[in-house]
């Protein structure tokens, strides 16, 4: 009797482990409903293209978002002074927050951007950073699309460096990079376990994920050319923290030009990343990405 119970418990554990390992390959989300909501939203928006779309994914960011938007407004105002023809939009994607993220973003946006340059998209339930970014990108109108985190950890003025690199090198994707900070006090102040996981994750990205030549895949500050951005984010399957790896894997597989530019970065308190739990999930997701594409379960886009 005891052996039977132990065998049953072991089998149940193995089934749960298998389901956990393959979770990224199974999607229970109703994408048709998401697409309908997106199309309805787009019909209400102006059709004219702008030069820059800034996408800010936000989950429970009512406190950290306002100072980020104020600094962003100052940069964009100065940019407008230098070039009167410069046009932009900011799309804050509230990823099913439990706080007042959406109303705070709308209120601050109305004050800072009276010409309605800032809009808020509220997702009905939490989908993860990748899902929020995807919704923002597919609703954008910019010739270039910039991803920026709600905490403002990366200096928004570094957008100019990414833009210059994109134009000079005809790059489809330019990644903000913190790799130059690895041996500085910025990283040294972090806990030992955090630094060990950071280096381990980088190895997983290269060896398992197949993303070579990009030293920092996870910096939330990235610039995309519009045409390639739509191809990449229409393709995106992962909706949690490892979505950057899938985007870069597909970009490199399609032979898009990808570059890295060092950015000014400051660690901001309030991170929602659980080091151990999310590191395991990200390693799992990266393995699934590689297996799914190599095995033909997920296919690369035909239009490049």
Mean pLDDT (10-residue bins), the chain, 304 residues: 75 74 65 71 86 97 96 96 94 96 96 94 92 95 97 94 94 91 60 61 76 88 97 92 92 96 84 72 88 90 72
Write down the pLDDT at residue 36.
78
Write down the pLDDT at residue 129.
93
Write down the pLDDT at residue 234.
92
Write down the pLDDT at residue 187.
55
> Does pTM top 0.95 for this prediction?
no
Residue/partner pairs of 45-50 with CB below 8 Å, 24 or more apart: 45/119, 45/139, 45/141, 46/141, 47/141, 48/141, 49/141, 49/142, 49/143, 50/87, 50/88, 50/89, 50/141, 50/142, 50/143
**CA-CA distance, 149 to 146, in Å (whole number)?**
10
- Residues in the chain, overall count: 304
The residue behind tokens 């050319």 is 225
Beta-carbon contacts of residue 254 (< 8 Å; ≥ 6 apart): 231, 300, 301, 304
Write down the pLDDT at residue 30.
45
Instruction: Identify the CATH class of 31-152.
Output: alpha beta
Every domain of the chain and the residues it spans: 31-152
Write down the pLDDT at residue 31.
54
């Amino acid at each position: 009797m005891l052996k039977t119970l132990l065998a049953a418990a072991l089998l149940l554990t193995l089934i749960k482990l298998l389901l956990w390992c393959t979770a990224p390959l199974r999607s229970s989300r109703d994408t048709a409903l998401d697409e309908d909501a997106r199309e309805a939203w787009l019909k209400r928006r102006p059709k004219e293209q702008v030069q820059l779309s800034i996408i800010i994914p936000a989950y429970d960011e009512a406190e950290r978002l306002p100072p980020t938007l104020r600094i962003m407004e100052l940069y964009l105002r100065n940019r407008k002074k230098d070039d009167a023809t410069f046009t932009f939009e900011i799309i804050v994607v509230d990823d099913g927050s439990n706080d007042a993220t959406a109303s705070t973003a709308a209120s601050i946006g109305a004050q800072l951007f009276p010409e309605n340059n800032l809009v808020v998209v509220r997702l009905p339930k939490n989908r993860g950073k990748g899902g929020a970014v995807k919704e923002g990108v597919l609703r954008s109108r910019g010739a270039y699309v910039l991803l920026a985190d709600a905490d403002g950890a990366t200096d928004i003025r570094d957008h100019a460096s990414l833009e210059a690199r994109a134009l000079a090198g005809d790059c489809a994707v330019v990644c903000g990079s913190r790799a130059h900070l690895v041996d500085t006090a910025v990283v040294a102040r972090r806990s030992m376990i955090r630094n060990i996981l950071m280096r381990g994750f980088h190895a997983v990205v290269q060896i398992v994920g197949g993303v070579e030549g990009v030293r920092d895949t996870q910096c939330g500050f990235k610039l995309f050319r519009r045409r390639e951005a739509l191809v990449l984010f229409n393709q995106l399957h992962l909706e949690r923290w490892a979505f950057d790896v899938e985007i870069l894997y597909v970009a490199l597989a399609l032979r898009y030009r990808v570059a890295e530019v060092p950015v000014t970065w400051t660690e901001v308190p309030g991170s929602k990343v659980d080091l151990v739990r999310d590191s395991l999930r990200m390693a799992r997701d990266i393995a699934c990405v590689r297996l799914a594409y190599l095995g033909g379960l997920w296919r690369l886009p035909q239009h490049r």
